[in-house]
Amino acid sequence: MPPIDLRRLASTAREVAAEWGLELGAPCPLARYSYVAPAGRDAVLKVTPADDDESDEEGDALALWAGDGAVRLVRRDDARRALLIERADPGTDLAELPESHATAIAVDLGLRLWRPAGEPFRWIGDHVRRWLDNAESGAGGELLPLARSLYGGLEIGRATLVHGDFHHHNILAAGSRFVAIDPKPMLGEPEYDVASFLWNPLSYRMRLDVTERRLAAFAAAGLNEERMRAWAVIRGAYPGADEGEAEVLRALV
């Protein structure tokens, strides 16, 4: 993705906030690919760049989930790619919790998010091969032959809405429940979503024993373990797994 013009996104956010009667707070410093700022005590205004095509149907996904497993959608302006969404309070993420507790919450949340859907969501099968092709010179290049082989052997599901960026930092505490934020929603299969959970949180160095325990937890909830392992390698190849991650991912298959 090209560099994000945060000044332009901030200008759009101020324009939308003025029209909607919102008072914006300081932008969230962790939002690197969009402009995100508190809008009063209970909401957040998010503006995504046009280049972030993976977020095109974020508002549609939030509307479908309707607060069950994800933050609630309050208002939207599709033309300006602006979403007013529920503010998760206290907003702590799964990285703050013990490993087994965090995994159990993620499993429960995923089972609520993964539900039947159709248009306007796009199918991951129309995009993954392009992502693999574009990763040729990336850090995960050594995994690409294996990833392509595994991908070629999958008959990919296309009837389930997936979050697309399902990991510790996108699952926040909101009162007595946990909710997902920042989806990159598409149609696929639940096993696709587990991959990004396996190499997070950011402070964690991927280990085979921890990875196996996480996979077992999702498998116990009904997911296909072989497909989770395949997707972990496939999705690890195109963002660019480092040497340690690539070693763990190869061991999964």
pTM above the 0.85 mark?
A: yes
What number of CA atoms fall less than 13 Å from residue 117's CA on the CB side? 26
Residue numbers of the domain that contains 42: 6-87
> Do 64 and 100 sit in the same domain of this protein?
no
Q: What average pLDDT score do residues 112-130 get?
A: 96
Q: Which of 55, 71, 87 is the last residue of a domain?
A: 87
Percentage, residues of the chain above pLDDT 90: 85
Q: Look at residue 1 and tell me if it is in a domain.
A: no
Q: Which of 87, 106, 127 is the last residue of a domain?
A: 87
> Do 40 and 134 sit in the same domain of this protein?
no
Match 């309070």 to its residue by tokens: 89
pLDDT, greater one: 134 or 86: 86
Q: What average pLDDT score do residues 19-40 get?
A: 91
Q: Look at residue 103 and tell me if it is in a domain.
A: yes
Angstrom CA distances, 121 to 117, 127, 131, 228, stand at: 8, 12, 18, 22
Band (pLDDT 50/70/90 cuts) for residue 136 is: low
How many structural domains is the chain composed of? Answer: 2
Q: Look at residue 159 and tell me if it is in a domain.
A: yes
Classify 31 in phi/psi space as left (phi over 0), alpha (psi -120 to 50) or beta: beta
Neighbours of 100 (CB within 10 A): 11
Q: Look at residue 138 and tell me if it is in a domain.
A: yes
Band (pLDDT 50/70/90 cuts) for residue 137 is: low
Residue 179: alpha-carbon gap to chain centroid: 12
> Do 78 and 114 sit in the same domain of this protein?
no
Q: Look at residue 39 and tell me if it is in a domain.
A: yes
> Do 74 and 96 sit in the same domain of this protein?
no
CATH of the domain at 182: 3.90.1200.10
CATH of the domain at 30: 3.30.200.20
Angstrom CA distances, 126 to 117, 154, 177, 239, stand at: 16, 13, 34, 17
Q: Look at residue 171 and tell me if it is in a domain.
A: yes
> Do 106 and 46 sit in the same domain of this protein?
no
pLDDT, greater one: 242 or 37: 37
> Do 28 and 121 sit in the same domain of this protein?
no
Q: Any long-range contacts for 63-68 (C-beta under 8 Å, 24+ apart)?
A: 64/115, 64/117, 64/161, 65/112, 65/113, 65/115, 67/179, 68/112
Q: Look at residue 148 and tell me if it is in a domain.
A: yes
Q: What is the b/e burial string over 197-221, where b = at least 16 CB atoms within 10 angstroms of the residue's CB?
A: bbbbeeeeebeeeebbebbebbbee
Q: How far apart are CA 36 and CA 156, in angstroms?
A: 33
Model confidence over 172-231: pLDDT tens digits?
999 999 999 999 999 999 999 999 999 999 999 999 999 999 999 999 999 999 999 999
> Do 106 and 31 sit in the same domain of this protein?
no
Q: At what angle do helices 208-220 and 243-252 cross, to 10 degrees?
A: 50
* Pair of tokens at residue 4: 């994000």
Q: Look at residue 236 and tell me if it is in a domain.
A: yes
